Amino acid sequence: MRNRALLVLITIFSAGCATSGAFKAVNPSENPNNIPPDVPEYFLQRYERFIPKDERKPIERINKQLQELTKKQAPDAEKAPLLAERDRLIAEFWAKRDTDPTTPVNEFKQIIDERIEDIAGERFFSTMQTPGLLFRNNDGFRGDVAMVYLLHGAPDVRSVLQHSQFVDLMLWIYMGDKEIHYAFLFYRQGSIGSMRLFPQDLYRINQCQAIAEIMSLRMSTGPGCTSEMIEAYQQLQRTSANDGTPGYVFAWALFNFSQDILLTQGQALQPPVPASQVAKQAPSRVVGEAPKPAEAVEYVLSEYGSMIPAKVSDFLVEINLQHLDWKKDHDQLECELKLRVVLESYAHAQVQSFERVNYISVPLESHKNSKTLTFYWMPADFDKIPPDRYRVSIYVKNTLTNKYFATVIPNFVKP
């Protein structure tokens, strides 16, 4: 019964054809997940997330002219030049974005069409990470969840946190080569509403308002956080999601979108840059001799998927050795932890970033005995930092496997 309930079949093609060979008319607002592929009249609706304004306007103008001609029952010969021009603009749109023009398939378009089919087929409904997640219950093809999936595909981490003190939260994390590239946080406004994107850019400085926004009992905000808000934030840090993702990652994502402080949520929701433009901007490369295959290496890995459970107290970061991934070298275990600390001044709106790498080597026996690794998160030149009230973001990444720990100290006072 359970398996039967998980099977959701949504047809992506509309039923029936008109005598002219065109698809039966579809109202996208009524059938948000049922938009015919490769039909010029629905090109703008199907691929709207990927079409910048300058490429959208000429096609909108042609569509409007065609609608006027249809109302006047104009002959096909009068429509033909407009139809040909629209086809040319659509072909040009895809050609600019073809990642490999030497192949007969446009790989970029193929990926987008596959994602649209995933949305129509409710890809995440029966998954372990987000069971029961339906695009159609979250504003369908034009909802925030679908928008992020269309632009960026499946995330590396997809986690849901439910707690009586908060509204439902869902976190999608996309990892880069070195750190968290994007962290999209969704929240449900009300018990039965759709999952909406949490405006992380807006709440980057106004943390009290962010906390109030996710609390089950909505609270008005004054100049600072109330004791209830502080308790709620601490509770969020202490709890964990359905898949074991620590609550402090959700707490970090309330006011952070990326570990690259230059990236914003708004930038990540823009249409991607065409491949042809990227190719023009890319510098030429000289390809040298292929690297020799690496020798077999033995690893000791933790049981945690992509996170590193850790604790921050005062100026210290504490991590159980068994919660890290290691490279084994005889009786020694080795890893490299990259520490990044970002201090944002409330008074002067200044951002300071510090990085260092900790090379860790411990006896294998220490790992077996579940000992704790402790190190200071404060920068080496901490004394030179001006006295002020700061928001401190702390990131720790294991460069071996890219697993990470992230947290925020929202109100740190440097005397």
Q: Is residue 350 part of a domain?
A: yes
Sheet hosting strand 195-197, strand order edge to edge: 157-161, 169-175, 180-188, 195-197
Q: Is residue 46 part of a domain?
A: yes
What is each CA distance from 271 to 83, 106, 196, 251, 259, in whole angstroms?
A: 25, 17, 19, 28, 21
Q: Is residue 103 part of a domain?
A: yes
What pLDDT score was predicted for residue 45?
87
Helical pair 53-71 and 76-96, crossing angle rounded to 10 deg: 160
For residue 158, the one-letter residue type is: R
Same domain flag for 304 and 378: yes
Q: 148-179 pLDDT, tens per residue?
A: 999 999 999 899 998 888 889 999 999 887 67
Same domain flag for 322 and 408: yes
Q: 242-267 pLDDT, tens per residue?
A: 888 888 899 899 988 988 878 899 99
For residue 176, the one-letter residue type is: G
> Nearest to residue 63, comparing CAs of 41, 43, 85?
41
Residue that terminates a domain, selected from 54, 84, 111: 111
Count of structural domains, the chain: 3
Same domain flag for 209 and 305: no
Q: Which long-range contacts (CB under 8 A, 24 or more apart) does 91-96 make?
A: 93/51, 93/55, 95/276, 96/274, 96/275, 96/276, 96/277
What pLDDT score was predicted for residue 281?
53
Q: Can you spell out the DSSP letters for 132-143? A: T--STTTTGGGS
Structural domain that includes position 335: 298-414
Q: Is residue 134 part of a domain?
A: no
Residue 92 backbone zone (phi > 0: left; psi -120 to 50: alpha; other: beta): alpha
pTM for the full model?
0.63
Contact 144, 186 (CB under 8 A): yes
Same domain flag for 305 and 372: yes
Same domain flag for 259 and 302: no
Contact 321, 345 (CB under 8 A): no
Helices (H) and strands (E) in the chain, counts: 12, 13
The separation between CA 414 and the C-alpha centre of its own chain, rounded to angstroms, equals 33
Residue at token pair 């190190």: 375
Q: Is residue 145 part of a domain?
A: no
Contact 158, 38 (CB under 8 A): no
Q: Is residue 124 part of a domain?
A: no
Same domain flag for 303 and 365: yes
Contact 320, 303 (CB under 8 A): no
Mapped onto helix, strand or coil, the DSSP state of residue 320 is strand
Taking the C-alpha atoms of 303, 308, 310 and 316 in order, what is their torsion angle to the nearest 10 degrees?
140
Sheet hosting strand 316-320, strand order edge to edge: 311-313, 316-320, 372-376
Same domain flag for 305 and 238: no
Hey, what are 192's tokens? 């039965």
Same domain flag for 245 and 200: yes
Residue that terminates a domain, selected from 268, 283, 313: 268
Contact 18, 61 (CB under 8 A): no
* Element spanning 50, H or E: none
Q: Is residue 197 part of a domain?
A: yes
Q: Which residues of the chain have pLDDT under 50?
A: 1-30, 32, 282, 284-291, 293-294
Residue that terminates a domain, selected from 268, 289, 319: 268
C-alpha span between 398 and 404 (Å, rounded):
6
Q: Can you spell out the DSSP letters for 264-287? A: -HHHHTSPPPPHHHHHHHSPP---
For residue 143, the one-letter residue type is: G
Same domain flag for 378 and 303: yes
CATH code at position 373: 2.60.40
Hey, what are 57's tokens? 């306007």
Q: Is residue 129 part of a domain?
A: no
